[in-house]
Amino acid sequence: MQRVTLAFISTLLAIISSLLPLFAAPLDTSGQYEQPIGRELFFLQEQEPLSFNSALSSYQRGDFNASRSNVLSFGIGSNPVWLAFEINNPLESPAKRRIQIATSWLDSVDVHYIPTHSSGTTQALSQYSGDKRSFARRNLEDRFFSFDHAFPNGVTRVLIRIESADPMVLPVYFSSLDAAQDRANFQSYSYGFLYGAVLCLLIYNLMLFIGMRSISYLLYSMFLLSFLLMNLSYTGHGYQWLWPHLPRWQQWANPIFMMLFNVTGLLFALRFLRVKSFLPATYKLTKLICILFPLLLLTALIIGDQVHGLIFAFDFMLLFSFMMILLGVMALKAGNPSSKIFLLASTSSMTGAAITGMAVWGFIPFNDLTYRAAELGILIDIVLLALALASKFRATERQKIIAEHQAKIDPLTGLNNRRAFYEITQPFWMQKQAQLGVSVIIVDIDYFKVINDTHGHAAGDDILSQFAKLLNLSLRQQDVAARWGGEEFILLLPGTRLEEASIISERLRERISNHTFSTGCDELQVTASIGLAHGDTSGLTLEHLISLADQQLYRAKQRGKNQICYEQECAV
């Protein structure tokens, strides 16, 4: 009894299924259909080639299946698909409407219109399109596959045969010409914004690369360029604007540009995150992957296997998304400060792709926002990466400035070193202050070697550090001090007469001799010898003036130390 019941239910379901095309209400030309009409469609996937007559007979017999999704979706390399639906025009005059399949990568799209009063195919009208044809041969100059038809009074059956090696995603729209144009205008403005933003970033980063010769900016520019080319390709803008007479190239453009996008993205990530420095094995594996997948695609291109070429490209795209996040996580664990924003960028890209996938498969509502979420995610991705690159550049510049500053500073005393001293004082010789002249003072700590030998080098370092502070306290705002070497220090006093320089020198000598230097547990008294030279910037070079001051310092040392010597005069 149970078997009989099951058999009866199965038979009843089969009958109902076969009658669905008869019971389904046709679309009305007076209706407004803003969303794809997938749920109004019936479809049949070819198991063997079907002619138009055979497909029409199959539809009339009820062999077509009712769609349960707004957007029909089939995989890569799927068998050709027939779509069927009916249009009713209640008006006496013909109503011109547009059927649009909002996918830009279908190889062949054949549309057939059959008035229901037709007993055969003689009165059927047909329109043909697809990427296997030149773009110039399309019915309308549209990146999508659009067909305008004046529907006569009554019911018209529409059969569409679609064939493509690419993923067969079929958002089918039925609308008035005005509504179709409004939808096209919105998309045009949004793509204009997208392409404008990407081009601005591309040009800006190319200029940075030219100016700075940084490989990171070159790789990021290539990443932006590949995204732009990939988007132009799969949106149909490339076929419409750039290669309208190359149908063969159009069939391979998607996987080639996808591959280029993945490779440049991974190479940029390796460079930006400095993966080679903390994960050399991962670095080598990633570069190997960046070589392997393009070789697989090249092999498919050579043998003309478009299906496997697409499989390699889409598999690499999935692997790319996973690896970008994985590299970001690894860099984060390694303490890379740039990894946080990189990880956020990669996550936004994956989130957008997931939303688009769920919209295509019917898990969430299908609209312009959900369908183009992948583009929005990638746009957020590239903007965040641009910010991360700019942040990294600023950090690098700060480090460079700090390094340059430290290269000019004596690390022990905090004073300028010789290099900085020459750079700072050189402009004084350009000013030609002939009236007042320039004074140079060289100060040498007396018996410093004895201090090091007796109290240790740590005590000597303490004295040098405290000595430098005393020098700074004795300086005026315009004076320049530097550690000249060992226990020697130099001061340049611009716009200073000899008498004034001698007073400053004496004040410094007294401050040093009266100061108690602390060296750990010990307190020491230290003296210094000073050599002073004065000259005119128009008559003496800086090197000559330093040499004169050094000679005066030697005289001060010879005469017993703890004194100042200048121009044949010495003061204690």
Strand partners of residue 494? 438
Q: CB of 544 within 8 A of CB of 510?
A: no
According to the model, what pLDDT value does residue 388 have? 84
* Closest by Cα among 288, 298, 295 to 267: 288
Low-confidence residues of the chain, pLDDT below 70? 1-24, 117-122, 360-362, 429-436, 568-572
Instruction: Tell me whether strands 569-571 and 564-566 are parallel, antiparallel or unpaired.
Output: antiparallel
The total of other beta-carbon atoms located within 10 Å of residue 572's CB is 11
Contact 100, 142 (CB under 8 A): yes
Cβ contact 569:510 at 8 Å: no
Q: Measured at the alpha carbon of residue 127, what is the angle toward residues 121 and 128, in degrees to the nearest 5? A: 120
| Measured CA distances, 230 to 43, 90, 320, 381 (Å) | 30, 44, 15, 15
Amino acid at 411: P
Phi, psi of 161 (to 5 degrees): -105, 130
Segment holding 357, helix H or strand E:
helix 339-360
Distant-in-sequence, close-in-space partners of 290: CB < 8 Å, separation ≥ 6: 262, 263, 266, 267
pLDDT digits 0-9 by tens, 356-391: 878 766 677 777 788 888 889 988 998 888 888 888
Handedness of CA 315, 317, 318, 323 (dihedral sign): positive
The C-alpha atoms of residue 300 and residue 242 are separated, in whole angstroms, by 24
Integer Cα distance of 283 and 271 in angstroms: 10
Do 492 and 479 contact (CB within 8 A), yes or no?
Answer: yes
User: 327 with 273: CB under 8 angstroms?
Assistant: yes
* 373: phi then psi, degrees, rounded to nearest 5: -60, -35
The one-character DSSP state at 409 is B
Digit-coded pLDDT (tens) for 242-299: 999 999 999 999 999 999 999 999 999 999 999 998 889 999 999 999 999 999 999 9
Cα dihedral 17, 19, 22, 28 in deg (nearest 10)? -20
- Burial status of residue 510 (CB atoms within 10 A of its CB: 0-12, 13-18, 19 or more): exposed
| Model pLDDT, residue 14 | 45
In the numeric block, the tokens 């659009």 are attached to: 146
Q: Give CA–CA dist 260/500, Å, rounded.
A: 72
- Token representation of residue 136: 């110039």
* pLDDT tens, position by position, 24-78: 679 999 988 988 999 999 999 999 999 999 999 999 999 999 998 889 988 889 9
Q: What per-residue confidence (pLDDT) applies to 145?
A: 96
Pairing of strands 154-163, 81-89: antiparallel
DSSP strand pairing (438-445 vs 488-494): antiparallel
Q: How many helices (H) and strands (E) does the chain have?
A: 17, 20
Contacts of 459 (CB under 8 A, 6+ apart): 451, 452, 519, 520, 522, 524
- HSE at residue 204, side-chain half, CA atoms within 13 A, is 12
CB distance 117 to 187 below 8 Å: no
| DSSP code string of 435-458 | TT-EEEEEEEETTHHHHHHHH-HH
CB atoms within 10 A of CB 141: 10
501 and 439 Cβ atoms separated by less than 8 Å:
yes
Distance of alpha carbon 572 from the chain centroid: 69
Give phi and psi for 479, each to the nearest 5.
-80, 155
Q: What is the C-alpha separation between 330 and 336, in angstroms, rounded?
A: 9
Q: What pLDDT score was predicted for residue 17?
A: 45
Phi, psi angles (nearest 5°) of residue 459: -65, -40
